[in-house]
């Protein structure tokens, strides 16, 4: 009983830390300090929660699921991580489309995994996925210099 309560407290604390990291990043982003906010958020995610964003965005779906299960992430945690990747991916579009694409794709994947973990399908997640898919299509249609590029040169999205 005590161990279950301790685990529940740890999971609750993780959710609070994730929400605080996202909130701090969004605050810095609105102040025009998105790059600094991303750096601080990445450091906090790694040091406080052992989540390395640079590694996370390169993992396969199976590896991602295992990585997050080892860190005791819940579907609510994945919703927050997905939102963070959504926001950082949007910020990266103008700077590095490849990184932006990876972040946005991982944000979608995290929402899919959240559905799997929770055993439910949330309308809010469906809306968020559709929004991200639309944004990804835009990112794929524009090249590094904002030009319209052929979709033939772009690999299809795994959805």
- The pLDDT, as a whole number, for residue 6 is 67
Does 50 have pLDDT greater than 80? yes
Task: Look at 7-16, 36-45, 104-113 and tell me which has the smallest mean pLDDT.
Answer: 7-16
Residue 2 has pLDDT above 80, yes or no: no
Q: What is the pLDDT of residues 85-139, one digit of tens each?
A: 999 999 999 889 999 999 999 999 999 999 999 998 889 999 999 999 999 998 8
Reading the block at residue 32, the tokens are 């025009």
Could you tell me the pLDDT band of residue 153, with boundaries at 50, 70 and 90? very low
Asked if the model's pLDDT at residue 155 lies above 50, the reply is: no
CA distances in angstroms from 100 to 103, 105, 118, listed in the order given: 5, 9, 27
Find the mean pLDDT for residues 45-49.
91
Rg (CA), the chain: 16
Tell me the torsion sign for CA atoms 62, 68, 69, 74: negative
φ/ψ of 148, rounded to 5, equals -80, 120
Q: What CA–CA distance (Å, rounded) separates 42 from 34?
A: 12
Nearest to 6 by CA among 76, 81, 72: 72
Neighbours of 80 (CB within 10 A): 22
Give, in order, the Cα–Cα distances in Å from 107 to each of 4, 58, 78, 103.
30, 12, 9, 6
CA gap 146, 159 in Å, rounded = 24
């Amino acid at each position: 009983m005590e161990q279950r309560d301790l685990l529940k407290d740890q999971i609750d604390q993780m959710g609070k830390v994730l929400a605080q990291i996202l909130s701090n990043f969004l605050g810095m982003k609105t102040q025009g300090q998105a790059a600094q906010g991303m750096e601080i958020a990445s450091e906090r995610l790694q040091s406080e929660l052992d989540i390395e964003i640079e590694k996370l965005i390169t993992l396969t779906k199976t590896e991602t699921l295992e990585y997050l299960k080892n860190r005791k992430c819940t579907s609510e945690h994945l919703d927050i991580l997905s939102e963070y990747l959504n926001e950082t991916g949007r910020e990266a579009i103008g700077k590095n489309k490849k990184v932006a694409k990876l972040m946005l794709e991982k944000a979608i994947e995290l929402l899919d995994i959240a559905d799997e973990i929770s055993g439910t399908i949330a309308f809010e997640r469906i809306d968020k996925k559709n929004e991200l898919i639309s944004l990804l299509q835009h990112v794929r249609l524009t090249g590094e210099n904002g030009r319209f590029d052929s979709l033939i040169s772009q690999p299809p999205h795994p959805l």
